[in-house]
């Protein structure tokens, strides 16, 4: 019987720069294969084939997608009983930590004719152009974060924090009661989504497909959504419950979702840019309304409208430059693929396909 397949983004383009959680995912694996060199789309095809191969042997699979090319895979995590992580480790550059015990480098540089790449592409000019688009994209994202901070200032003024604290206390009692599990809790990390060349994207439906209870937080920015979820995560860990923190794709310091696997439960920020509502077909779906504790004045509402317009403009600018960056990056990856010795590539990667 095949296990479930879950999709995440492997990296997020945030206001603080690129964020990934690959180091944390490596710590979940018994074996890690870091694929170095030949960083084109053929690596993605290999990672998809590896996922299919191990899924056919009954393993649960997690695919980690590339924010620049949503259909491309950056990593494949084969869960129990294998617990193997296959990771394209050229960009981002991930180095082994536990060499030859857990972590193994698979060098694919010999599969690539670098002179052929250079003859097919003016790499210097493309690299310079990519850097310009990259810098402009992340300047716009940084600007968006600061505008978002202004938005939070307006909403915090009229927040009833006592009301939120009581609502959280009721939730904690409902979830845990007096339970204390007699085991060590496990903490894992994932990303909810990211900015892409097509705008904001997430994989909420895939992430939550196997959960029975989903709480959809509705509330203004700056009214404690992320802080409350971090508190819930800490309370769960102290009681021995495993926790998965799912990080925000815009603000690298914020949490957008907390999953408690043993309770088949999650709570997540279901406001912009990942707006979701309970589904009639899922009886465990429910709104968790904290907006009721915040009542901005008419003047503050008008200020917020102006701030939101500026915020959306900055995100649109970041998206435009992300698209331009991706167009140049595609040229590089296609040139790399065209310069691969496919026979040697297949030979070097054949050992990755194991059997029970």
- In the block, tokens 């250079």 appear at 118
Q: Which residue has the higher pLDDT, 296 or 230?
A: 230
- Both tokens of residue 58? 């009954």
Residue 355 scores a pLDDT above 70: no
Give the SS3 label for residue 259: strand
Q: What is the pLDDT of residues 132-148, one digit of tens each?
A: 999 999 999 999 999 98
pTM for the full predicted model: 0.95
Helices then strands, each counted (H, E), the chain: 9, 16
Residue 1's Cβ-count burial label (10 Å; 0-12, 13-18, 19+) is exposed
Peptide bond into 74 cis (omega under 30): no
Residue 187's Cβ-count burial label (10 Å; 0-12, 13-18, 19+) is middle
pLDDT on residue 38: 83
| CA angle, 160 then 145 then 93, to 5° | 125
Among the listed residues 147, 128, 346, the one whose alpha carbon sits nearest the alpha carbon of residue 250: 147
- Both tokens of residue 10? 């492997």
Q: What is the pLDDT of residues 2-48, one digit of tens each?
A: 689 999 999 999 999 999 999 999 999 999 999 998 889 999 999 99
CB atoms within 10 A of CB 77: 26
């Amino acid at each position: 019987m095949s296990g479930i397949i879950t999709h995440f983004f492997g990296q997020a383009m945030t206001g603080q720069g690129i964020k990934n959680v690959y180091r944390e995912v490596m710590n979940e694996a018994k074996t890690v294969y870091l694929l170095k060199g030949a960083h084109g789309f053929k690596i993605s095809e290999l990672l998809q084939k590896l996922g299919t191969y191990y899924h056919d042997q009954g393993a649960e699979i997690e695919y980690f997608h590339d924010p620049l090319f949503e259909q491309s895979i950056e990593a494949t995590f084969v869960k129990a009983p294998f617990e193997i992580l296959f990771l394209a480790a050229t960009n981002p550059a991930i180095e082994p930590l536990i060499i030859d015990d857990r972590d193994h480098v698979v060098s694919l540089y010999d599969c690539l004719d670098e002179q052929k790449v250079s003859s097919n592409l003016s790499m210097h000019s493309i690299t310079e152009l990519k850097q310009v688009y990259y810098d402009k994209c992340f300047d716009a994202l940084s600007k968006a974060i600061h505008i978002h901070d202004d938005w939070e200032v307006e909403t915090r003024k009229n927040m009833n924090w006592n009301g939120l604290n009581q609502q959280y206390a009721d939730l904690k009692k409902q979830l845990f009661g007096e339970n204390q599990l007699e085991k060590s809790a496990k903490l894992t990390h994932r990303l909810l989504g990211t900015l892409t060349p097509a705008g904001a994207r997430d994989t909420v439906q895939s992430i939550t497909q196997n959960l029975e209870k989903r709480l959809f937080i509705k509330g203004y920015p700056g009214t404690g959504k992320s802080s409350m979820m971090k508190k819930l995560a800490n309370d769960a860990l102290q009681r021995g419950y495993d926790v998965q923190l799912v990080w925000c794709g815009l603000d690298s310091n914020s949490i957008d979702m907390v999953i408690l696997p043993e309770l088949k439960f999650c709570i997540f920020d279901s406001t912009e840019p990942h707006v979701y509502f309970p589904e009639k077909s899922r009886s465990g779906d429910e709104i968790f309304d904290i907006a009721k504790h915040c009542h901005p004045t008419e003047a503050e509402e008008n200020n917020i409208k102006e701030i939101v317009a500026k915020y959306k403009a900055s995100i649109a600018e970041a998206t435009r430059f992300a698209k331009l960056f991706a167009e140049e990056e595609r040229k590089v990856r296609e040139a790399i693929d065209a310069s691969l010795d496919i026979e040697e590539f297949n030979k070097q990667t054949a050992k990755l396909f194991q059997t029970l």
